[in-house]
Chain A
Amino acid sequence: GAVVSQHPSRVICKSGTSVKIECRSLDFQATTMFWYRQFPKQSLMLMATSNEGSKATYEQGVEKDKFLINHASLTLSTLTVTSAHPEDSSFYICSARGATDTQYFGPGTRLTVL
């Protein structure tokens, strides 16, 4: 149990385009979902927290207009990187938390912006 999926697993896009990443909790209802970013050889950094049906709460220094988060249902959250630039290239990881209060993580999405 407690499986979280992400799609796509890897994406390459041109500078200036937008990219959407989906995160799904497959076998539980996620009242809260989290988005993290990880640069090479660094630890995970929390970007934002979203509760189903509410606006996301962004961590300090994370631009909410650049990283759009939607958590429209108890099993789906999306992260859209708008007008992506090479410095946005990173490993994006979502996690979901449900009734057990334990966070489970997705496999991650490798974004490369050319």
Chain B
Amino acid sequence: DAKTTQPPSMDCAEGRAANLPCNHSTISGNEYVYWYRQIHSQGPQYIIHGLKNNETNEMASLIITEDRKSSTLILPHATLRDTAVYYCIVRSAGYTGANSKLTFGKGITLSVRP
């Protein structure tokens, strides 16, 4: 079972920031928050991940609350090409154990409108 909950869908206007929420209230201390996205008929694309500090890269920013029970993925200037299903996944570090695998939930469908 996925350990995260996400709203099923949201939309935003092109050029505006898209803030995608994720709840992971049962996250363990050694579990990271990963975000991937899947554009229709393609494999998932890695976006960003973090443990407890906020993270930023060329694609997005990840804001994790202090209690780590929720996080927000921010796409600062959404474009039409950002329309996709976004998956928030918690995963423990390391190479062994069931929790070290990526388990996909239903994700959130982001629709960017012109």
1/0 per residue, CB under 8 A from A, across B33-48: the answer is 0101010011111100
Asked if residues A106 and B106 are in contact (CB atoms below 8 Å), the reply is no
* Nearest neighbor of A42 in chain B, beta-carbon distance: B106
Asked if residues A32 and B46 are in contact (CB atoms below 8 Å), the reply is no
A contact residues, range: 20 to 34
From the candidates A6, A45, A93, A101, name the one contacting B44 in the complex (CB within 8 A).
Answer: A93
- Does B72 interact with chain A (Cβ within 8 Å)? no
Asked if residues B93 and A101 are in contact (CB atoms below 8 Å), the reply is yes
11 pairs from A and B in contact (CB 8 Å cutoff): A34-B102, A43-B105, A44-B38, A44-B104, A46-B101, A46-B103, A49-B101, A95-B102, A102-B34, A108-B41, A110-B41
SS class of chain B's interface: helix, strand, loop or mixed? loop
- Does A105 interact with chain B (Cβ within 8 Å)? yes
Asked if residues B44 and A44 are in contact (CB atoms below 8 Å), the reply is yes
- Does A90 interact with chain B (Cβ within 8 Å)? no
Instruction: Taking A46-B102, A95-B102, A103-B46 as given, write out 8 further A-B residue pairs in contact, using a Cβ cutoff of 8 Å, ordered by the A residue number.
Output: A4-B43, A43-B106, A43-B107, A44-B44, A91-B41, A101-B94, A105-B46, A108-B41
Q: Given the complex of chains A and B, what is the CA–CA distance between A46 and B98 in angstroms? A: 11
Q: Given the complex of chains A and B, what is the CA–CA distance between A6 and B45 in angstroms? A: 14
Q: Given the complex of chains A and B, what is the CA–CA distance between A105 and B37 in angstroms? A: 11
* Nearest neighbor of A107 in chain B, beta-carbon distance: B43
Least CB distance, A23 to chain B, in whole angstroms: 10
From the candidates A2, A43, A49, A110, name the one contacting B104 in the complex (CB within 8 A).
Answer: A43
Q: Which residues of A contact B43 (CB under 8 A)?
A: 4, 6, 93, 95, 105-108
- Does A28 interact with chain B (Cβ within 8 Å)? no
Q: Given the complex of chains A and B, what is the CA–CA distance between A31 and B94 in angstroms? A: 12
- Does A58 interact with chain B (Cβ within 8 Å)? no
Q: Which residues of A contact B44 (CB under 8 A)?
A: 44, 93, 95, 105
Q: Which residues of A contact B107 (CB under 8 A)?
A: 43
Residues A104 and B46 in contact in the complex (CB < 8 Å), given A34-B101, A43-B104, A43-B107: yes
Residues A31 and B106 in contact in the complex (CB < 8 Å), given A46-B101, A102-B46, A106-B43: no
